[in-house]
């Protein structure tokens, strides 16, 4: 079976091959958590009291009252990309050396989540109230600031020769993430007819693709890969990241709330100009006009199903799924360039397919 994307199989039995792939990704992610969590936790424990509490809460290791929690720190996809890319290009030794970089990427990801939630006034993250709703804006901003500093400190203290270029690349990626978030918030203030599909694709690449690409590039750097291979792995991660965002946006409209941790249709209710929505709005169809009208009016609960239907009828859902498949194909091309051995590339392939098939 060719390494094609099969996005968003929320129902229907996956093929045996994909089932095995899904299991492989689950095994990879579990192993990544096992090697990353102790270092991640040690980094958070190094924070002074107040910031530590916010951080441990955000990562799901503490309840709001400071008592220990089971932990639900996300799927660790970004650290998994760092370690799996390192292993693909440099074997087990590179994988072991890259753990600190994997933790740094996860810290940066969570710093942006803490800040984005404040800016977007999002109240739920990973099925729990967001940090700012519990600790206030100031402490959520400060905890985010501290996580960015922790990430770059970890790399500055890493004697590995890849640590400095990795830190430079991660810092450059933070700037791109900020630009993506700026574009996202700026776009939310525009009318339904003022946003182009190109704009929103560029925004999604900066906001989501950049860090997934950076994670893969950091893994390649720790494997001592050539500049070309580092670039190819960055491109692999970016394309897979866009596929991931496309599917995430599909789930944001049609996903099962019990699995997404967000209320049904939350993105539509927030009038979010997500990728399927903008594709629908710019489709020139009758449904597009209907959708533009719905989006221009204040939110009404009764219109939620009608809004989702308009996005679908205007082709937003089909476009997003086809676009995700296309991005995945491009990602596979970049991966094959840097890691021609299918066995060595298997882990990254599994992760990319996992993130684009997930339904939560």
Please, what is the minimum distance in Å from the beta carbon of residue 112 to a copy of itself? 8
How far apart CA 111 and CA 184 sit, in angstroms, is 17
Minimum distance of a copy of itself from residue 161's CB (angstroms): 11
Report the alpha-carbon distance of residue 126 to residue 81 in Å, rounded: 21
> Alpha-carbon distance 230 to 236, whole Å?
10
Task: Pick between residue 148 and residue 350 the one whose CB is nearest to a copy of itself.
Answer: 148
Q: How far apart are CA 222 and CA 98, in angstroms?
A: 6
Pick from 195, 150, 161, 173: nearest CA to 292:
195
* Closest distance to a copy of itself from the beta carbon of 141 (Å): 6
Least separation in angstroms between CB 206 and a copy of itself: 8
Q: Are 7 and 332 spatial neighbours (Cβ–Cβ below 8 Å)? A: no
> CB of residue 114 vs a copy of itself: minimum separation in angstroms?
10
In the complex, the smallest distance separating the C-beta of residue 180 from a copy of itself, rounded to whole angstroms, is 9
**Nearest approach, Cβ of 290 to a copy of itself (angstroms)?**
31
- The SS3 assignment for 62 reads strand
Q: What is the dihedral of CA 130, 134, 135, 140, to 10 degrees?
A: 10
CA 347 remoteness from chain centre? 18
User: How far are the Cα atoms of 62, 202, 290 from residue 110, in angstroms, in the given order?
Assistant: 15, 22, 37
Three-state DSSP class for residue 330: helix
**Least distance CB 111 / a copy of itself (angstroms):** 8
Rounded distance between C-alpha atoms, residue 209 and residue 32, angstroms: 21
Pairing of the two strands 128-129 and 124-125: antiparallel
Nearer to a copy of itself, 101 or 338 (CB): 101
Looking at beta carbons only, is 146 or 348 nearer to a copy of itself?
A: 146
* Sites of contact with a copy of itself (CB under 8 A): 47-48, 50-51, 111, 115, 118-119, 137-139, 141-146, 148-150, 152-153, 155-157, 163-165, 167-168, 171-172, 174-176, 178-179, 181-183, 185-186
- Shortest separation between residue 199's beta carbon and a copy of itself, angstroms: 13
CB 7 within 8 A of CB 354: no
CB of 90 to a copy of itself, least distance (A): 21
Q: How many CA atoms lie within 13 A of 39 on its CB side?
A: 23
Nearest Cα to 74, choosing from 100, 46, 42, 112? 112
Residue 125: strand, helix, or coil: strand
**Cα–Cα dist 268/192, whole Å:** 12
Please identify, using beta-carbon distances, which residue of 51 and 80 lies nearer to a copy of itself. 51
Q: Which is nearer to a copy of itself, 20 or 168 (CB)?
A: 168
Cβ atoms of 320 and 246 closer than 8 Å: yes
Contact 113, 143 (CB under 8 A): no
């Amino acid at each position: 079976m060719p390494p094609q994307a099969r996005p968003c199989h929320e129902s229907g039995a996956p093929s045996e091959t994909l089932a095995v792939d899904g299991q492989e990704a689950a095994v990879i992610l579990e192993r990544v958590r096992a090697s990353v969590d102790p270092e991640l936790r040690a980094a958070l424990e190094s924070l002074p009291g107040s910031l530590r509490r916010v951080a441990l809460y955000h990562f799901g290791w503490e309840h709001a009252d400071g008592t220990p929690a089971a932990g639900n720190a996300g799927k660790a996809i970004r650290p998994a990309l760092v370690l799996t890319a390192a292993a693909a290009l440099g074997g087990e030794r590179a994988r072991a050396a890259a753990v600190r970089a994997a933790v740094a990427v996860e810290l940066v990801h969570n710093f942006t989540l803490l800040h984005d939630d404040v800016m977007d006034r999002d109240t739920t993250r990973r099925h729990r109230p967001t940090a700012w709703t519990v600790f206030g804006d100031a402490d959520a901003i400060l905890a985010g600031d501290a996580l960015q500093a922790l990430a770059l400190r970890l790399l500055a203290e890493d004697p590995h020769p890849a640590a400095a270029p990795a830190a430079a690349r991660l810092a450059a990626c933070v700037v791109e993430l900020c630009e993506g978030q700026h574009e996202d918030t700026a776009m939310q203030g525009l009318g339904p007819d003022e946003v182009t599909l190109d704009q929103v694709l560029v925004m999604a690449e900066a906001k989501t693709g950049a860090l997934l690409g950076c994670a893969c590039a950091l893994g390649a750097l720790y494997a001592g890969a050539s500049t070309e291979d580092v670039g190819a792995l960055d491109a692999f991660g970016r394309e897979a990241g866009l596929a991931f965002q496309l599917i995430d946006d599909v789930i944001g409209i049609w996903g099962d709330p019990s699995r997404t941790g967000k209320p049904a249709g939350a993105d539509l209710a927030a009038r979010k100009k997500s990728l399927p929505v903008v594709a629908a709005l710019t489709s020139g169809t009758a449904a597009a006009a209907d959708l533009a009208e719905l989006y221009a009016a204040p939110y009404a609960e009764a219109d939620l199903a009608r809004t989702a239907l308009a996005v679908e009828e205007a082709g937003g859902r089909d476009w997003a799924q086809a676009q995700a498949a296309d991005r995945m194909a491009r990602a596979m091309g970049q991966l094959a360039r840097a890691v021609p051995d299918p066995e060595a590339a298997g882990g990254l392939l599994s992760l990319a397919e996992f993130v684009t098939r997930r339904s939560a």
